[in-house]
Amino acid sequence: MKQLFFHLVPVLAFGLVLAACDNDSDEWTQPYEFAWSYGAESQFSVGKPATFTDLSLGVETREWSFEDATPATSTDPEPSVVFNSKGIKTVTLTIHFLNGQVQSESFDIEVFYPLSARIKALELTPKGCIRLDTPVSFGLTEVEGNPTSYQWTFEGGTPSSSTDPAPVVTWTSANKNGARISCRLTRADDGMTTTVEQTFIVGNYPMLHPIPEKDYDPWRFELSSIGKWTLWNTTTSADDLTTNTSIVSGGADGSKQALKVTLKPGVIYQLFTRDNWVCNAQLVAGQKYEVSFWQKTDAAEGSLIVLTGIYNNLPSWSWNEYLQVLASDHWSIYFPDIPFEEQVEEMFGIWSNIEYPLTETITLPASPELMPSAEWKQVRFEFTATSAKYESLLNTYPQFALLSAGSADVNWYLDDIQINLIEE
């Protein structure tokens, strides 16, 4: 983790003056402050860039000097330099302030011979994921500086730590956000240390992603916007998303929030993200995938019918004003290398918590694991993206059908929806 070293020095006889306005005057006063900082991943290393920052206020000119470094001097507010040899080096910052005062401060830093490496892992999937219940061998590559000891940490792994140069670790729980692996290296002869780290997805490769920079999370509901969901009321032929859904606290599996859907009795609702193409999955025909999500309900046991399906559909009219605000332009902004192609609806899998007549000739068998209860429960199904029309499936999404057989409104809760690639 990057460390920031900050130093604040009073400015000569006039001290530290902060910007302020007198209560009886609108006249602004120039602040004067002598301050500097420097950051480093650990210690400074020979031949590696080091950055220093002048944070002073009221500066007219400045000059840095660096002992045995390239460059040896600089007038930049944030110079980057390389030290040429090991040892204690002196850095000096001289400030000429706008009021004519001059102040100079020196400080010493210790420069070491480099110590660096990169983490490598074996037995990964083609996408670079860690397989569950499969031992993974870790080690280091591109090693520089002859480390003599190692302190590994493995988030969620067994063992969770090791001092072995080449440890073997196993995971039993998935982590689609990535497990953090770190190794602290130490060199005995001079005490030099550095920490290298890397993140690996544990389990199947995720195909659904939020867009944090737009505060946009349709799948875990942890950000401000849930994206373009539709809650279609088949009785009124209207979208009831605004009136019948809300974000509530207390999500599944330790998450902060979840989606609450209020269902009126006897009404079939369809909940889907077809028009949410900026975050929907892009799949490959013939590949095997899994869909999973967490659900619960306050409906009486067995009174809520839930169907789950996986669809691909990219209508020519799928662009709309809501997504224009988020995307700010069009498809090519998000997918510059993928031409827009209208794709008719195809279904890759559908499941029901009860035996359900889908058509006059097709009845879905019951999938009891899909039956919701008062407690959060994760549901998982596998499917193959079998398409008769397309090789690249541009807009694949989950769809739920919900029907309450009770006599009063009930609530159904949804969280952490995933579509993941199953790598053979």
State residue 19's pLDDT score: 35
State residue 2's pLDDT score: 38
State residue 276's pLDDT score: 87
- The DSSP secondary structure of 122-168, one letter per residue, reads SS--TTSPBPTT--EEEEEEEEES---EEEEEETT-BSSEE--SS-E
**pLDDT tens string 98-121:** 999 999 999 999 898 889 999 999
The Cα 118–Cα 109 span in angstroms is: 26
Q: State the pLDDT confidence band at 384, using cuts at 50, 70 and 90.
A: very high
Do 303 and 417 lie in a common domain?
A: yes
The boundaries of the domain holding residue 144 are 116-203
Do 296 and 197 lie in a common domain?
A: no
Do 233 and 197 lie in a common domain?
A: no
Res. 10: pLDDT tops 50: no
The Cα 298–Cα 374 span in angstroms is: 6
**Coil, helix or strand for 50?**
strand
State residue 135's pLDDT score: 97
Res. 41: pLDDT tops 50: no
Do 331 and 273 lie in a common domain?
A: yes
CA 218 to chain CA centroid, nearest Å: 14
Q: Please answer whether residues 105 and 11 qualify as being in contact, where contact means their C-beta atoms are separated by less than 8 angstroms.
A: no
State residue 18's pLDDT score: 36
Q: State the pLDDT confidence band at 345, using cuts at 50, 70 and 90.
A: very high
**pLDDT tens string 51-103:** 999 999 999 999 999 999 999 999 999 999 999 998 999 999 999 999 999 99
The Cα 58–Cα 101 span in angstroms is: 10
Q: State the pLDDT confidence band at 339, using cuts at 50, 70 and 90.
A: confident
State residue 422's pLDDT score: 96
Mean pLDDT of 375-399: 96
Do 120 and 94 lie in a common domain?
A: no
Average pLDDT, the chain: 89
Q: Please answer whether residues 103 and 95 qualify as being in contact, where contact means their C-beta atoms are separated by less than 8 angstroms.
A: yes
CA 131 to chain CA centroid, nearest Å: 20
State residue 38's pLDDT score: 78
Domain count, the chain: 3
> Per-residue b/e over 365-382, b at no fewer than 16 CB within 10 Å?
eebeebbbeeebeebebe
State residue 23's pLDDT score: 47
Do 94 and 129 lie in a common domain?
A: no
Of 203, 236, 263, the residue at which a domain comes to its end is 203
